[in-house]
Amino acid sequence: MNIKILVANFIFIFLINHACTNTSPNNNYIKNDYPIEDTASQEKIKENIQIREIDKKYLIGKYNPETDSNFVKIPSKYCIYRTEYIHREVYDALLELLDYANSQGIKLKIVSAVRNYDTQLYLWNSRVSPNYDIYTIKNVLKYLAMPGTSRHHWGTDVDFNSTALQYYNSYEGITIYEWLCENAPKFGFFQVYTSNRNTGYNVEKWHWSYKKLAIDFQENYKNKIFCPDLGKFRGSEFCGELDIFNNFVFEINSEFL
């Protein structure tokens, strides 16, 4: 091997390592530029083998978290607006994350955790006026999921501190976001709507998901949920035309794919 090939190899290996260790969401697109696809798909195959069956009603939020034993209440000291619930398999990791933040002087709280179908429908109807058209729906879809398509139905996802863009541009918001990027993955949480996507919801710095369980929900969702499963509501007739599942539900941080 001559010296030129050695140097080229060295530079190539350095670039790959750099891309893999750089977890900043703003730089995630770098991952696609290097041949790490094989590793990602091998991991996915491994994970697929372990995917468990999840009933359709939990995929589209047709349950009541107050009475369903799969969900537990989050202590009110961590909730900003109302009583919040989370999937019982996410609870320990979430509480560890919140307690760890608190111990470091980071005021991390929950705006929204579990939202069932009815809650999502209420939010949807409050944004979509009765005389809507497809442009209205596209506009609402910048930040709000159609009923039956929200990851908040799964009990695996959480919005932290605020869903206002200006908050995450403030000093406090920037501090919180940087802290989350550095620490949330240690507890199994990853940002879902990052900047390295082509379509779907706008970037949401507040929305984080517990990957270990969310992957199960995602894989079940892919195989079991189709437009008619969402039911009828304002704009549901555009589910197919807007390719809601590919363009929104699965247009997420490549960390989850």
Applying CB under 5 A, the residues found at the interface with Zn ion are 159, 207
Cβ proximity to Zn ion: between 84 and 159 the closer is 159
- We find the least distance from the C-beta atom of residue 194 to Zn ion, in angstroms, to be 13
- Give the C-alpha distances (Å, rounded to integers) separating 239 from 189, 193, 223: 29, 20, 16
In what order do the strands lie in the sheet containing 157-160?
110-112, 157-160, 207-210, 189-191
For residues 230 and 249, is the Cβ–Cβ distance under 8 A?
no
- We find the least distance from the C-beta atom of residue 159 to Zn ion, in angstroms, to be 4
- We find the least distance from the C-beta atom of residue 114 to Zn ion, in angstroms, to be 11
Minimal CB distance residue for Zn ion: 207
Cβ proximity to Zn ion: between 208 and 238 the closer is 208
Cβ proximity to Zn ion: between 207 and 234 the closer is 207
In sequence order, which residues have a C-beta less than 8 Å from that of residue 215 and are 6 or more positions away?
Answer: 47, 51, 256
For residues 225 and 135, is the Cβ–Cβ distance under 8 A?
no
- We find the least distance from the C-beta atom of residue 81 to Zn ion, in angstroms, to be 13
Q: Which two tokens stand for residue 131?
A: 């005389």
Give, in degrees to the nearest 5, the angle at Cα 106 between 100 and 110.
85
Helix (H, G, I), strand (E, B) or coil at 162: coil
Cβ proximity to Zn ion: between 159 and 216 the closer is 159
- We find the least distance from the C-beta atom of residue 207 to Zn ion, in angstroms, to be 4
Cβ proximity to Zn ion: between 31 and 154 the closer is 154
